[in-house]
Structure 1
Amino acid sequence: MWPGMGRDRLTRGLVLRLCLLLTALCVCVHIYLELGSRRGAPSHLILGCPTQTNQVLPDKGARIRGTKDPMEPNFVTEDRAMKRMVSYVRTLKNDSVAGKTGGGDNPSMCCPPLRPKRKALAVKRPGTEGRFESPRWHIELEPWASDNHSLEEEARRFLHYITTPQVSCAPPSPEGPLALEGQEGPKGPWAVCLDSRYSLAQRIHTKHCRVYSMGLGVEDKTLERSLARVGCEVHCFDPSLKQAHLQESDMWLHRLSVDWRDPNPAIPAQRQHGNTKKLATILNDFGHRQVDVLKVDMESAEWKILENLVLEGVLSSVGQLLLEVHLHWAGFEVDGDDPSVVRFWFSLLKELERAHFRLFRYHNDPAKPRLFLHRNFLNASSAYTLGWVNNEWRP
């Protein structure tokens, strides 16, 4: 009996040892296969997409920073494999940068960028020879007219500027086909320049001219009707119209107000003051790239609208600008003391000059009150109509 029990214990011990040996062998095989798969598989297959330097798995990020994961064995071969992985990540980054700068094929990545950036609107800046730059946020203010920043010196400089034409404009023949009813000579408030040196006369002759007229309850549309009769495409924008779009006397009338900003999408449409849009938005909506004549009679909103046209580079799409300026107060959303306001006005008109616009006429309505910023100052009128021609406009 006792010898049998000894043989049973020996058999059980051998079986137990064999099981432990097989278990150790399985663990070794598993570790070997795990290390082999990490060593052989490239990182873009492990992560599922090209890896960026800031996209690292948590345990690998700890290893790169020099700390050890307490739940993972410390194998030298695994550390070497991770070093190869980090170097592969850096190689991917360098290849992507080289592909962007090299001008070659840039295959699309399977993963989107982590922080996509909105592209800034590119605008053409006057004097940049066709190059495009980022949009501007403010105009360039001109130096003060005097060291003491006096209102009198600022007003004298400004009034002299708007009453001194920079170019002459030869009128067309009164009996010619380009004679317009709105051309009332030196006494008329609104007039275009039909000098053969500029493109408007040729554009009218070929029936390719386009006119935008912006106003608030404007009743006198003599110039617009005259331009429509000679073949121009005329669009009048007036928020006081009852219908959204109306064709009348060869002109298109739109119930739309031109503003220096687009409507806030967070404000419901019924709470906004009419339908207002920036001129750049209207041009885009209508599919128009160029405007031969832009007439602006916006009752003291012209300063901020003009500032928006300057900052967004819209003036390069305009051939002639007919503008009524109001001087009895600063205008909508024009801040500062009186000398600063006049300096802002003058700086805006100098921006027109930098955009290749030249003053060809001005009109002073004697029926208007003599008010300059709420006072009778230098016998200045409260409103002037200015005509500007873009001498480098080539449609």
Structure 2
Amino acid sequence: MCFRCSCSVSVKPHWLQYCSLGTMLIRSGILFSSFCQGPFVRLGGVPERFLLCGLNQNFMEGIEQQILQISYFNVIFFVTEYVCMCSPIQTPRWHIDLEPWASESQSLEDEAKRFLSYITTPQVNRKGSTGAWAVCLDPNYNLIHRVQSKHCRVYSFGLGVADWSLESSLSRLGCEVHCFDPSLKQPHLQQAEMWLHRLSVDWRDPSPAVVAQRQYANTKKLATILNDFGHREVDVLKADMESAEWKILENLILEGVLDSVGQLLLELHLHWAGFEVGGDEPSVVRYWYSLLKELEHSNFHLFHVHSDPAKPHLFLHKNVLNASSAYTLSWVNTQWKPLGKPDKNK
């Protein structure tokens, strides 16, 4: 029944009476509020409009007549049952799905060849900025329209960043830009048309004991930062995390945070495995490749690749296929549907 989630049904006044009783039952313990794990039944009543996925108007009118003839408790049970069917409980993920080996030999050369071919082959054409850091302004995707309507938001993470040209350009176009750098002297600072924050992204939140000793935590997960700032989505997420990008990317995938991101710009460092990435060399490259394939499975498609000619040609401390030690990659979420206007209160 739940193939579509675009159908919203207006709740008429007599529905509110039944749902108010449902709230009382929930409060008294007859129904568990966690049964659906969804925002459909709220303490104190229900929204004026709530979603019943896949139910058309004719079906709902027939159901309305039946509801008037049954008991209060059955009404609430019915609503709860159908809401739960349309809001399945998501099982937490604890690890990514590794792709099959590139070959039966499981050699570094074969894994590197597959990986390097993947990161140097754009998957979609683009229109937009040029240079190492690039965004996609193709009208088929959302960013250009969000920029034109002054509703875009940008997060930029780095350490001691000297070049904020992309951020400045997007800010001048009307985007709300937040730059995060843990080396800043002040916790928060508004400079020109950008917000600067003494903070960085990590794949885990700091220990409560560490936070208790400091007024501000220097690193947090992206999900925590979004929650702290009251932001639901980010049009452009740019990050140069100096070899922490692999574990951060893994966290974004496992926690489903990428659903809140329109475009992802990352610098990948290949001269070593990266922080807390273990295993032999072929296994490391297979892990890298699997992470990027997870991005693709999440509807992120590569549109820009840039290798830094000033960087040494090192791939896991070796010269493998003349690969650079650093690549800047940009992906666009081709299925991203922003929820609305950014909140300008932060």
Instruction: Flag as ranges the 4+ runs of structure 1 deviating above 4 A.
Output: 117-122, 129-132, 271-274
| Sequence identity percentage | 70
What is aligned with 1:278? Answer: 221
Aligned length in residues? 270
Closer, same or farther: CA 230–108 of 1 in aligned 2, 3 Å: closer
Deviation (angstroms), 1:270: 3.8
Closer, same or farther: CA 303–372 of 1 in aligned 2, 3 Å: same
Closer, same or farther: CA 274–155 of 1 in aligned 2, 3 Å: same
What is aligned with 2:319? Answer: 376
Structure 1's unaligned 5+ residue stretches are 1-102, 123-128, 172-182
Letter in 1 for 2:246: W
Q: 1:255 aligns with which of 172, 176, 198?
A: 198
Q: 1:143 aligns with which of 100, 105, 118?
A: 100
Hey, what's the Cα distance between the residues in 1 that align with 2:168 and 2:325?
Answer: 27
Hey, what's the Cα distance between the residues in 1 that align with 2:278 and 2:175?
Answer: 38
What is aligned with 1:165? Answer: 122
Hey, what's the Cα distance between the residues in 2 that align with 1:230 and 1:204?
Answer: 7
Letter in 1 for 2:288: W
Hey, what's the Cα distance between the residues in 1 that align with 2:89 and 2:244?
Answer: 28
Deviation (angstroms), 1:267: 3.6
The answer to whether residue 120 in structure 2 is matched with residue 201 in structure 1 is no
What is aligned with 1:44? Answer: none
Hey, what's the Cα distance between the residues in 2 that align with 1:121 and 1:162?
Answer: 38
Letter in 2 for 1:302: E
Letter in 2 for 1:275: N
Letter in 2 for 1:133: Q
What is aligned with 1:106? Answer: 25
Hey, what's the Cα distance between the residues in 2 that align with 1:310 and 1:198?
Answer: 21
**What is the TM-score of this pair, normalised by structure 2?**
0.73
Hey, what's the Cα distance between the residues in 1 that align with 2:323 and 2:215?
Answer: 36
Deviations 1:161-189 (A, max 9, x none): 00000000134xxxxxxxxxxx3x3xx10
TM alignment of 1:258-337, pairs within 5 A? 258-267=201-210, 269-270=212-213, 275-337=218-280
What is aligned with 2:285? Answer: 342
Structure 2's unaligned 5+ residue stretches are 1-21, 40-85, 339-346
Letter in 1 for 2:123: Q
Letter in 2 for 1:390: N
Q: Larger relative CO (CA 8 A, sep 6+): 1 or 2?
A: 2
Deviation (angstroms), 1:132: 5.1
**What is the TM-score of this pair, normalised by structure 1?**
0.64
Deviation (angstroms), 1:271: 7.6
Hey, what's the Cα distance between the residues in 1 that align with 2:25 and 2:38?
Answer: 23
> What's the secondary structure of 2:25's corresponding residue?
coil
Hey, what's the Cα distance between the residues in 2 that align with 1:108 and 1:289?
Answer: 29
**Aligned residues: CA RMSD:** 2.7
Hey, what's the Cα distance between the residues in 1 that align with 2:231 and 2:125?
Answer: 29
Closer, same or farther: CA 136–219 of 1 in aligned 2, 3 Å: same
Deviation (angstroms), 1:246: 0.3
Deviation (angstroms), 1:333: 0.4
> What's the secondary structure of 1:363's corresponding residue?
strand
Hey, what's the Cα distance between the residues in 2 that align with 1:121 and 1:157?
Answer: 41
Deviations 1:319-342 (A, max 9, x none): 000010000000000011111100
Letter in 2 for 1:159: L
